[in-house]
Amino acid sequence: MNHSANALGILDELPRAELGHLPTPIEFLPNLTKQCGGAQLYIKRDDCTGLAFGGNKVRQLEFYLGDAQAKSADTILITGAVQSNFVRLAVAAARKLGMGAHIQLEDRVPGKNDIYHESGNALLNNIMGATVYHYPEGEDEAGADAELHRIADKLREQGRAPYIIPLAPGHAPLGALGYVAAAREFIEQCETADLHFDRISVASGSGHTHGGLLFGLRALSSPIKVTGVCVRRDAKIQFERIKTRCTEIAELLQIDNPVLDDDIVVDDEFFAPGYGLISEVVRQAIEDVAYQEALLVDPVYTAKTMAEFLARAHKSSRQEKHLMIHTGGTPALFAYQSEFLID
């Protein structure tokens, strides 16, 4: 298999800040495999990337922060939900590299109590000393980015050098490069351990993780099926987002896009009742994997991915090997404690 730099374009020439504990391990899940009675189940522990509870965003931020350093930025600006893992890790990355952190939080999840707004990732942002702003709309990505630019203008007037990590599509997907690189890491691990997987399940939200991973695998000639589990939008909208993301990655890396429409698989069966909201089957997935494997998954991303992962395993042959990318999000569990309190 072609692991050369040429296969991934200019990936290794782009600035990158070393933030993560890489490579992350691939673990067999014996108890869940036995319980499901179908495919053999494995997990890639990207919740173990280090840096303030870790998660998939560490890989993405290596390229954003590398670019910020190359541009002599001294302050990072980012928008996300109240319990955004990306925001928490952007603050952590900024602090690690001696930068300021200005964050803009949106209320995307209705009906949440004070615990949700004050614990978990929100608490960690405060502990790390982020400057916090609030944006009233939860589905206005362009408007949120525009507000960040206004904040950045004020910081420049104060003599600061801000760097914006954008929310809306239409910008160079630097974050996705973290998972193009992760695809190479994964393939090398599989070859070393003589592992051959039939399918990968991964959360699909912004599209940086799903799109980057899929792009990297296909660029390196890997045919492994990748299912993106919808956590923010329905499958039809998410399909188009991933398709666009892969086109943008190809342009950024200056290579042909290896991803065909048939490669893009998205599943919204476990998305309801919506972003950041928990169905009974998702709640059960959280409890099952904690009980069976002492593995903690969060309500927003990894629990929905785990629900799809387990459901597919039940229907699959015992000869198949399935892998889930654990994208982290552990701190968000504390914001949902009222959902799990025992009377």
Determine the 3-state secondary structure of 287 from DSSP: helix
User: In this predicted structure, what is the pLDDT of residue 318?
Assistant: 86
- For the record, the structure tokens of 282 come out as 């998702």
Q: Where are the beta strands (DSSP E) in 187-326?
A: 199-204, 225-230, 265-267, 321-326
Strand partners, 76: 101, 163
Strand partners, 227: 201, 265
pLDDT tens per residue across span 255-264: 999 999 999 9
Instruction: Evaluate whether 201 touches 229 at the Cβ level (below 8 Å).
Output: yes
Mean pLDDT in residue range 317-334: 95
Pairing of strands 26-28, 199-204: unpaired
Tell me the pLDDT band of 341, cut-offs 50, 70 and 90: low
Mean pLDDT in residue range 217-226: 98
Alpha carbon distance 274, 230 (integer Å): 10
Mean pLDDT in residue range 267-285: 95
Tell me the pLDDT band of 200, cut-offs 50, 70 and 90: very high
Please check the confidence at residue 253 and state whether its pLDDT lies above 60. Answer: yes
Mean pLDDT in residue range 291-303: 96
pLDDT tens per residue across span 10-63: 999 999 999 999 999 999 999 999 999 889 999 999 999 999 999 999 999 999
User: In this predicted structure, what is the pLDDT of residue 343?
Assistant: 47
Q: What is the CATH number of domain 5-55+173-339?
A: 3.40.50.1100
State the catalytic residues.
Answer: 84
With the C-alpha atoms ordered 121, 97, 212, 288, is the resulting torsion angle positive or negative?
Answer: negative
Q: Where are the domains of the chain?
A: 5-55+173-339, 57-165
Within this chain, domains 5-55+173-339 and 57-165 share the same CATH topology: yes
Residue with tokens 């912004």: 206
Instruction: Evaluate whether 325 touches 200 at the Cβ level (below 8 Å).
Output: yes
CATH classification for the domain delimited by 57-165, as one of 3.30.70.980, 3.40.50.1100, 3.30.465.10, 3.40.630.150: 3.40.50.1100
Q: Rounded to 5 degrees, what are φ and ψ at 77?
A: -120, 140
